[in-house]
Each structure stands twice: as structure tokens, then as C-alpha cells.
Chains A and B, each alone.
Chain A
Amino acid sequence: MEKVMRLVSENGLVIFSKSSCCLCYALKILFQEIGVTPTVHELDQDPEGREMERAVMRLGCNAPLPAVFIGGKLVGSTNEVMSLHLSGGLIPLVRPYQSISN
């Protein structure tokens, strides 16, 4: 879907989320802890949200939201991000997008 692809290519670090979802919130906190500010797109606040959610799933995200894209590529949902972080792979991946103050 175009909107999804555009958002994903324009921003290095994108999270598709729902404002009511607490697990999505937890993931946002995690990125904060490692010193990055991802571009968050709340699909429940977007009129095209449903379609976007379907598009994200077609791109390979098996779990429900949140869906995390880094450098235009789908990383996955909470499971994948946690695994990546514990294996030490998340920080190198987000380093290009870390805020200058860090």
C-alpha cells in the first residue's frame, strides 16, 4: 500500500501502532530507553488505518500491532524487537537514527 510504503521509506524508524494499545506503548518506551525517537503512526487515528494494518500484515508482520520498520525494512512486532534487543542487534540497527543528544 502506497501510504505505508511512503511512510516507511521517508522515515528511518517507524512504528505502526494503536493509541489504545498498551503493548505498543511499552515498545515506544523501549525505544526511548535506548535513545531513539521513532516516527509513530497511530492507525486507530487514521481513517485509512484498517487498510494500512492489512498492508503491514501483507508485508510479513504476523502478529498484530505494533509493527516496527527500520531503514525501510520490516523488523517485526514486539517479539522480534525484544529478541533483537537481547541479542544486541537492535542498537546497532537504530544507531543512524539516534537523536543527536545521545
Chain B
Amino acid sequence: MNENLFASFIAPTILGLPAAVLIILLPPLLIPTSKYLINNRLITTQQWLIKLTSKQMMTMHNTKGRTWSLMLVSLIIFIATTNLLGLLPYSFTPTTQLSMNLAMAIPLWAGAVIMGFRSKIKNALAHFLPQGTPTPLIPMLVIIETISLLIQPMALAVRLTANITAGHLLMHLIGSATLAMSTINLPSTLIIFTILILLTILEIAVALIQAYVFTLLVSLYLHDNT
């Protein structure tokens, strides 16, 4: 059982070639584009949802920050669809791989910070020292603020990985516990099955929320730096 528990997180390969690339390319196929103004029902619902999220997210930015709107909206849609597809049985979720989340987090964070340092250097440096600190504490506080800035991309990546991986693992474990208890004791099976249903609802929520949090934090870093 120990080997099987983590076997679903292995990146799938076809004869040594990474098939994970194909699985990452699946979500765009589920979001069709259209050249007409008035579309069929499915495309209209998708466009309405995307419009809702993009309006909600981009109101807090100024003009320079809104140039990032394409990037942020596609980010939240990608993470949300990838997490939700990972809830299907036997499927592989690319966001459980730390490598992919680091590849998403580091360039976005670095882009926001470097943009801030290039344009408004005084404002960017001012983040390192909160207002009203007593004078003896200043050196230590600058060091702490620097560390907290440098740890932001790692936190972004590890947060997403850990949440999704932990949720999947928990569902595996409780599912196999349900199966094992079904032959021994029926009422406890029902209790564990209820827990499984609640967990599934939680997982759906977590999938969406993690996407939201990731994107929100990136947009926050953007807001600080524009």
C-alpha cells in the first residue's frame, strides 16, 4: 500500500517521454473560442464566467497593472481547470508537481518585483521598513522584511503543491479505509463514507480557492509594484 499511495503522483511517461505535457495541454481544449458575437449556450456560459472573474480581479489595479490582466485571468483559469480535472478518478494533476508550480510562481513574482524596482525605486524600497518602528529595531526589521520578500515565490509554489497533494492523499486514504471497513462493520462504513463525501465537496472548493489565492497574491504583488 505504501507504494500505491504515491503512485498516482508520478509523472506519466510514454516510453520515457513525458506525457505530462499532453495532460497539461488538455484544459485549453475544453474552453472553445468563437468568432461570433452571439454563441451557443456552452460558449456563452464560459464567456460570462470569465468576464465575471476578470472584472472582479482587475478593478483594484491602475492602468499599468491592468496590462497584466490577460496573464492573470489565464492563470486563474488554468489553475482552476487543472485542479478540477485532477478530481476525476485516475487522472494526473500537474499542479501536484512542485516543478510546475515553481515554474509558474518564480517568473510572475520576479516580473512584478523587477517592474517595481525599475519604475518606482523609492516606493519599492520603502516596503522594507514599515512605518513607525522604533529606531533600535530597524536593522533587524530590514533583514526580516527582506527575507519575507524573498520567500514569496517559494511560498506561492509550495502552498499550491501542498494543498492539492494533501487533499488527493486524504481522499485516497479515506477511500481505501471505507473499502476496508465495508466487510468488517457496516455503520462505521456509512460514517466514513459521509466523511468521504464531505471531503469531495471540500476538494472542489479547495481546487477553486487555490487558484484564486495564487492569482490574488500575484496581483497583490503587482499592485505593490506598479
Question: Are A and B co-members of a single complex?
Answer: no
* A interface, CB within 8 angstroms of B: none
